[in-house]
């Protein structure tokens, strides 16, 4: 393309793989599944695959939760027969694939890399099957890192032990419902309407998912809103207000890869322009790591700032976007991010290039903060040289005053109730504020009546008054006032 900077970063190939088998003998290890996805990304370029592989000098990997390798980038490189000058293993989290995409684009634009592969995968499904069969480690898998342990879904003991875990709080299934409940109360929405909107949203998601070849739900009958929003034996309440079908489904075996290079290198490799997707820009920042230090639970300053900054550095307005890729474990992320009424997602991120390639939608935006397009940046200028945002969202650096041991009159800021497998409420998980100081605290329910009121969908617990007191073992208990229990 005439007058385009030769180092302009573009996505030129994507690959996705899926392994639905539960047989132990079919248990493909994470590195091998990622290698298969990378090979598919080479083929997707339409160029000579050996030439493409020879051009790779960068490898960025999103680690799998289930199998800690000593050197995963090294294992992948050896299997593919190349030696990248730069290789790096990222961190667990849904943000990592797009942050890697932004990083790769910067490296290519700065001529630090000629071509970069990004890859990652989720393999909970087969790992669980091997565990049930007593086959851990699975046959033929590489030796795990002896200094690390696999991270199992729902295992709070594997997390950093802190004031949150003392109160049985710390998993995504706990934190996201707290945001949902806070947002519902902030917008004065009823429980019934909130559940209806969540069900409608996931009905739409499942309809799309069932139509995508590499989706775990591909070819299956889409679930409707009534099924998603109704409590049954197969759709029990997990943490209010989210039923099982409203939670992230991690029991999958999926991997994906993306190849990023420059316009100049793509031309040398003979990659046709119809494969090019221009990366316009990206931005990243984070909430405070400890949820109890965040400013509130009805908004996400980090998400809002990152979305705005990504649009600004890309030179695009929201009205110019033709397709949105909304990554989320649960409904609340959509709501706090976009105001909709209604640890590895790598496989989802690379649907966007398909939508942004020439002849399809022109511009696509990922809710994890990246813009891509069938057209280059306006003015055909160079890619931004740095992330426009600080590591912690602006205004969030100091956190919220917090008391580990709380005593006195208080009220509920947000909450959720965790349910047992028999469908009964088991524990109240509470974020509260002391009335006198406004300082925040964490607590569990103090008595059975408080737990039952928290679980009552006809009653709003947020801002309800009560008292909090310490137990002596590092926990706090919250008791609703007599008036609130009526």
Domains of the chain, by residue range, sit at 9-140+251-380, 173-246, 408-480
Give the pLDDT score at 328. 60
Give the pLDDT score at 92. 83
Tens digit of each residue's pLDDT, the chain (486 residues): 557 889 999 999 999 999 988 888 888 999 999 999 999 999 999 999 999 999 999 999 999 988 899 999 999 999 999 999 999 999 888 888 889 999 999 999 999 999 999 999 988 888 888 888 898 888 888 888 988 877 666 677 767 789 999 999 999 999 999 999 999 999 999 999 999 999 999 999 899 889 988 888 999 999 999 999 999 999 999 999 999 999 888 788 999 999 999 999 999 999 999 999 999 999 999 999 999 999 999 999 998 999 999 999 998 888 888 877 766 655 554 444 333 332 444 444 445 555 555 555 556 565 445 567 778 787 667 889 999 999 999 888 788 999 999 999 999 999 999 999 999 999 999 999 999 999 999 999 999 999 999 999 999 999 999 999 999 999 999 999 877 655
The three-state DSSP-derived secondary structure of the chain is CCCCCCCCEEEEEEEEEECCCCCHHHCCCHHHHHHHHHHHHHHHCCCCHHHHHHHCCEEEEECCCCCCCCCHHHHHHHHHCCCCCEEEECCCCCCHHHHHHHHHHHHHHCCCCCEEEEEEEEEHHHHHHHHHCCCCCCCCCCCCCCCCCCCCCCCHHHCCCCHHHHCCCCCHHHHHHHHHHHHHHHCCCCHHHHHHHHHHHHHHHHHHHCCCCCCCCCCCCCCCHHHHCCCECCECEEECCEEHHHCCCCCCEEEEEEEEEEHHHHHHHCCCHHHCEEEEEECCCECCCCHHHCCCCCCCHHHHHHHHHHHHHHCCCHHHCCEEECCCCCHHHHHHHHCCCCCCCHHHHCCHHHHHCCCCCCEEEECCCEEEECCCCHHHCCCCCCCCCCCECCCCCCCCCECCCCCEEEEEEEEEEEECCCCCEEEEEEEEEECCCCCEEEEEECCHHHHHHHCCCCCCCCCCEEEEEECCCCCEEEEECCCCCC
Give the pLDDT score at 65. 85
Out of 2.40.50.840, 2.30.30.140, 3.40.50.620, 3.90.70.10, the CATH code matching 408-480 is 2.40.50.840
Give the pLDDT score at 377. 81
CATH class name, domain 9-140+251-380: alpha beta
Give the pLDDT score at 57. 96
């Amino acid at each position: 393309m005439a007058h385009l900077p030769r180092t302009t970063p573009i996505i030129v190939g994507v690959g996705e793989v899926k392994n639905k088998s539960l047989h132990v003998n079919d248990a493909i290890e994470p590195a091998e599944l990622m290698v298969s996805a990378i090979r598919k990304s080479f083929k997707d370029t339409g160029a000579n695959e050996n030439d493409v592989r020879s051009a790779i000098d960068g490898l960025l990997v999103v680690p799998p939760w289930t199998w800690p390798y000593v050197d995963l980038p090294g294992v992948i490189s050896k299997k593919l027969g190349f030696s990248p000058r730069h290789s790096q293993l990222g961190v667990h989290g849904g943000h990592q694939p797009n942050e890697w995409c932004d990083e790769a684009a910067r490296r290519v634009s700065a001529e630090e890399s000629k071509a970069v592969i990004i890859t990652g995968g989720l393999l909970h499904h087969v790992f669980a099957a091997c565990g049930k069969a007593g086959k851990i480690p699975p046959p033929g898998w590489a030796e795990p890192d002896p200094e690390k342990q696999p991270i199992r879904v729902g295992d709070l003991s594997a997390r950093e032990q802190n004031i949150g875990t003392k109160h049985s709080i710390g998993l995504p299934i706990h934190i996201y419902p707290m945001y949902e409940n806070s947002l519902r109360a902030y917008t004065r929405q009823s429980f019934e309407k909130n559940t209806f909107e969540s069900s409608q949203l996931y009905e739409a998601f499942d309809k799309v998912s069932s139509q995508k070849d590499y989706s775990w739900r591909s070819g299956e009958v889409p679930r409707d809103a009534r099924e998603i929003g109704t409590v049954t034996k197969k759709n029990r309440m997990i943490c209010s207000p989210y039923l099982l079908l409203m939670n992230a489904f991690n029991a999958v075996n999926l991997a994906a890869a993306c190849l990023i290079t420059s316009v100049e290198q793509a031309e040398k490799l003979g990659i046709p322009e119809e494969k090019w997707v221009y990366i316009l820009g990206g931005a990243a920042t984070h909430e405070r790591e400890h949820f109890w230090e965040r400013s509130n639970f009805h908004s996400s300053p980090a998400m809002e700032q990152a979305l705005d900054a990504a649009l600004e550095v890309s030179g695009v307005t929201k009205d110019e976007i033709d397709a949105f890729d909304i990554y989320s474990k649960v409904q609340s992320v959509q709501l706090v991010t976009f105001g909709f009424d209604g640890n590895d997602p790598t496989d989802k991120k690379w649907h966007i290039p398909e939508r942004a390639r020439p002849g399809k939608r022109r511009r696509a935006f990922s809710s994890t903060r990246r813009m891509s397009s069938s057209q280059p940046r306006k003015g055909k200028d160079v890619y931004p040289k740095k992330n426009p945002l600080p590591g912690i969202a602006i205004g969030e650096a100091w956190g919220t005053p917090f008391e580990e041991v709380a005593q006195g009159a208080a009220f509920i800021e947000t909450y959720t109730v965790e349910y047992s497998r028999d469908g009964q409420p088991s524990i109240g998980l509470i974020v509260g504020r002391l009335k006198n100081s406004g300082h925040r605290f964490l607590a569990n329910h103090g008595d059975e009546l408080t737990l039952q009121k928290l679980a009552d969908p006809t009653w709003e617990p947020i801002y309800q008054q009560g008292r909090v007191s310490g137990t002596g073992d590092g926990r706090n208990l919250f008791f609703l006032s007599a008036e609130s229990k009526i």
